[in-house]
A and B are shown apart, each in its own frame.
Chain A
Amino acid sequence: MTAQEPCQPSSGGQCPSTEEGSRREFLGVAVAAVAAALTGCEKLSAEEFLQDKFTELSKSEVQTVIARLEKEYKEKYGKEVKVGNAPPVPGVIFGYALDLSRCIGCRRCVHACVKENNQSREPEIQWIKVLELEKEEGVNLQHAEHYYNPDEVPREGHFYMPVQCQQCKKPPCVKVCPVGATWREKDGIVVVDYNWCIGCRYCMAACPYGARHFNWGEPQIASKDVNPETHYLGNRPRPKGVVEKCTFCIQRTREGKYPACLEVCPTGSRKFGNLLDKESEIRYVLENKRVFKLKEELNTQPNFFYFYGV
């Protein structure tokens, strides 16, 4: 199978595999951002400035905030964007399992995720990173290739390991946030309030999985690419200067759908479900396969598991 592209070195420096090339790209992005600022896209309303943390808002305040956001998005993208705030479903804790013996490193999940979750395209932010590892070395991150781009995958002697937010039971990122702008929901999803985050990036230093990403520039998405089905704590378009991360597609999974990365996977490597449901596929995997957690020794207790299916 052909591999989809790794994140482009031209994407404004999110993937700085080349040291030199990225500086020129800044200029283009910078000029675009200045233009955006001059045309008033960056205006900060008093309501936005004074908005309290999401978990402290009353029901009616949440409705006001959502109405304001929907109006702003409509002005910005010229189309209706629905901002949901579906709460966790009682009796559900989400778990994810990834079959390392099946994954072929095609990166379809990476791009499906970007499309679904309204990540900035310029510079491009990707929540899933697929590592190419040597079979001889095993899971040794110091030997990981992040920007592999052969004509065909899988490459001889290699295996592939997609890494995204591990939705830890003891998330170090949540512990360190100085303003409590990120927390773990009852269904196990670690979320960020993009309107409360101050952009200090302490959580990025604390995350052992490189799962948190920062909006270094003004996020750019073409109107036609905006996914209008969003969640306040998930894939709604983000402002500049805040941190974002995988939310197990909170806007989909709380409605009973699978995450986008799972649906697009051509090899069936990805399994997702309710850890509390004994009949679920995820429970079957955990009970019958050889399972491990990434960096288990750090005691972050991920709800994301890797396994060898065959």
Chain B
Amino acid sequence: MSTLRNFSRFITDTIRIITTGGPIYYAWVALLLLLIGVGANAYIGQLHNGLLVTNMRDQVSWGFYIGNFTFLVGVAAAAIMLVIPAYIYDWEPIKEITILGEMLAISALVMCLGFVMVDIGRPDRFWHIMPVLGRLNWPQSMLAWDVLVLNAYLVLNYFVVTYLLYCAYTERHYVKKLVTPLVLLSIPMAVSIHTCTAYLYNGLASRPFWNSAILAPRFLASAFCSGPAILLILLQILRKTTKLSIKDEAIFKIAELMAYTMGFNLFLTAAESFKELYSGTEHMVYFQYLLFGVKGHNTLVPYAWASIICGAIAFLLFLVPKTRTNWVTLNIGCVLIYASVYIEKGMGLIIPGLTPDALGEIYVYTPSKTEIFVAMGIFALGFLVFTIMLKAAVPMMLGEFTINRSPKLDAAAAKSQEPA
């Protein structure tokens, strides 16, 4: 009974934290809400007119939405990668960061589900694909698998984050026997969501660009570069703006781990390119379209090379200890790796998979304005979810905001007493 009462206080206090803040916080949330509004408006237009307002067509039937979805599944998976050194090697400096990783995963998953939702032609039939409620074609369809693992992963992370924060709020130590197995479970789950998403493409014999055995390993390798890149920048912002102490050591350790995964990612990309280009079968045409253009169509070419070059420079910056531990070069590296993987796992994966199409036609796809606005709205939604979670989580993690202590309310109480 008291648990129930405490939990409802936890909820109301959380709501109070996220609705009170400084002018910068309000401005940031207002900006995100504005962007969400713009996205929602574009989506309403799409609902009325159909997906005709996108630039996807029968030839290229997936585009910007599914590209972003794929990239974000990687972010969601990689956020948990930090849990591996923290728990397996019991490496203390990273441990406090894992809850941030889990919140990042939740936000990324919210965006993933958003991108799937806006991509389907009949959102009114979304219930058909829901477990129990609908009729999932499981275990045949990889998309059915993906729906299951993504939702399970979301629930798992959501539970762990809520539980840890609730414990911090009620000033109790969390039950290790409950948390440790769940956190350990989230590691294979993280691998499985990205593997499932890779298999979704991998299993299609009709698309030689995707039908390669190293697609899933490439997905994981690239995700383990981009996910931590986001976290590294986030951690630096957090320790500047909050009292959260994150040791340099932790940041440099993550950067070192990233250097290895980046090297591996570049190696896998090279292995794939070599096989296709050297053997030169009819399947080469998709790589050609990506890297050199086909029949004068070369929209993707500058992006593809930008991705490779950014990745290579970032790899060198993270490999050399001197540049890895220099804040300027470290942050440049993070931005470069993020850009590199965003291109590679977004448009660089989806578009050459579908171009030329199954009958050899080249339809040059670039996202329409609607697609860009809707995507922007979904990213803003993800940022909003993350912002709100951080806003509530940081003071709780620091022990500043608990069931017995709430600085804001004390201050307010003090103020109300002043005139008297």
Chain A interface (Cβ within 8 Å of chain B)?
Answer: 12-14, 16, 19, 23, 26, 29-30, 33-34, 37, 44, 49, 53, 56, 123, 129, 131, 140-144, 146, 163, 172, 175-181, 196-202, 204-210, 212-218, 239-243, 298-299
5 closest A-B pairs by CB: A199-B121, A241-B121, A141-B360, A208-B206, A217-B52
The interface-forming segment of B27-35, B351-359, B399-407 is B351-359
Q: What CA separation (Å) do A205 and B357 show in the bound complex?
A: 9
| Chain B, interface SS category | loop
For A209, the chain B residues whose CB sits under 8 A away are 358-359
CA distance A237 to B51 in the complex (A): 18
Asked if B120 contacts A142 (CB within 8 A), the reply is no
Decide if B50 touches A178 in the complex (CB within 8 Å): no
Interface presence of B207 (CB below 8 A): yes
The chain B residue sitting closest to A44, CB to CB, is: B124
Is B141 a contact partner of A177 (Cβ separation < 8 A)? yes
Q: Mark B130-157, 1 if CB is under 8 A from A, else 0.
A: 0000111100111110010000000000
Q: What is the distance, in angstroms, from B220's C-beta to the closest C-beta of chain A?
A: 22
B58 & A214 in contact (Cβ 8 Å cutoff): yes
Q: Does B48 count as interface, using CB distance less than 8 angstroms?
A: yes
Residues of chain A lying within 8 A (CB to CB) of residue B45: 30
Q: Is the CB of A210 within 8 A of B357?
A: yes
> 13 A–B contact pairs at CB < 8 A?
A30-B45, A53-B135, A140-B282, A178-B144, A181-B128, A200-B143, A202-B143, A210-B358, A210-B361, A217-B52, A241-B51, A241-B122, A298-B206
Q: Is B285 an interface residue (CB 8 A)?
A: yes
Q: Which residues of A contact B87 (CB under 8 A)?
A: none
Rounded to whole angstroms, the CA-CA distance of A197 and B137 in the bound complex is 12
- Please count the residue pairs between chain A and chain B whose beta carbons lie under 8 angstroms apart in the complex: 171
B53 at the interface (CB under 8 A from A): yes
CA gap between A218 and B53 in the complex, in Å: 12
Chain A residues whose CB sits within 8 angstroms of the CB of B125 once the complex forms: 196-199
The answer to whether B358 touches A202 (Cβ under 8 A) is no
B52 and A198 form a contact (CB under 8 A): no
Query: What 0/1 readout, one digit per residue, does chain B (316-358) give for beta carbons within 8 Å of chain A?
Result: 0000000000000000000000000000000000000110111
B56 within 8 A of A: yes
Q: Are B121 and A201 in contact (CB under 8 A)?
A: yes
Q: Are B53 and A198 in contact (CB under 8 A)?
A: no
Per the CB 8 Å criterion, the residue count for chain B at the interface is 54
Measured CB to CB, the closest approach of chain A to B207, in angstroms, equals: 6
> Is B359 in contact with A131, judged by CB distance below 8 angstroms?
yes
Cα A42 to Cα B48 in complex, Å, equals: 9
Q: Tell me if B413 is interfacial: C-beta within 8 Å of chain A.
A: no
Query: Are A202 and B207 CB-contacts (below 8 A) given A178-B147, A179-B136, A240-B50?
Result: no
Provided the pairs A30-B52, A216-B52 are in contact, do residues A179 and B360 lie with their beta carbons within 8 angstroms?
Answer: no
Q: Are A129 and B359 in contact (CB under 8 A)?
A: yes
Asked if B120 and A214 make an inter-chain contact with CB atoms under 8 angstroms apart, the answer reads no
Alpha-carbon gap, A207 to B48, bound state (A): 28
- Flag if B49 contacts A34 (CB, 8 Å): yes
> Are the C-beta atoms of B134 and A179 separated by less than 8 Å?
yes
Instruction: Assess whether A215 is in contact with B121, with CB atoms less than 8 Å apart.
Output: yes
B57 touches A180 (CB 8 A): no
Q: Are B50 and A216 in touch, CB under 8 angstroms? A: yes
Contact call B204/A172, Cβ cutoff below 8 A: yes
Roughly how many angstroms separate A185 CA and B322 CA in the complex, as a whole number?
65
Which of these, A180, A208, A241, contacts B205 with CB under 8 Å?
A: A208
**B129 CB-CB contact with A under 8 Å:** yes
* Contact across chains for A207 and B50 when beta carbons are under 8 A apart: no
Tell me which of B48, B52, B119 contacts A200 (CB under 8 A).
Answer: B119
- CB <8 Å contact, B137 and A180: yes
Chain B residues lying within 8 Å of A143, measured Cβ to Cβ, are 360
Q: Is B59 an interface residue (CB 8 A)?
A: yes
Q: A14, A37, A141, A163: which contacts B58 (Cβ < 8 A)? A: A14
* Interface pair B122/A199, CB less than 8 Å apart: yes
Give, as a whole number of angstroms, the nearest-CB distance from A83 to chain B.
Answer: 20
Give Cα distance in the complex from A208 to B368, angstroms: 26
Q: Which residue of B lies closest to A53 (CB)?
A: B135
User: Is B305 interfacial (CB 8 A cutoff)?
Assistant: no
8 Å CB contact of A13 from B52, B282, B356: B52
Q: Is B62 an interface residue (CB 8 A)?
A: yes
Q: How far is the CA of A131 from the CA of B358 in the complex (A)?
A: 12
Asked if A141 and B359 sit within 8 Å, CB to CB, the answer is yes
Q: Which residues of B contact A179 (CB under 8 A)?
A: 128-129, 134-137, 144
Taking CB atoms, residues of chain B closer than 8 Å to A197 are: 121-122, 125
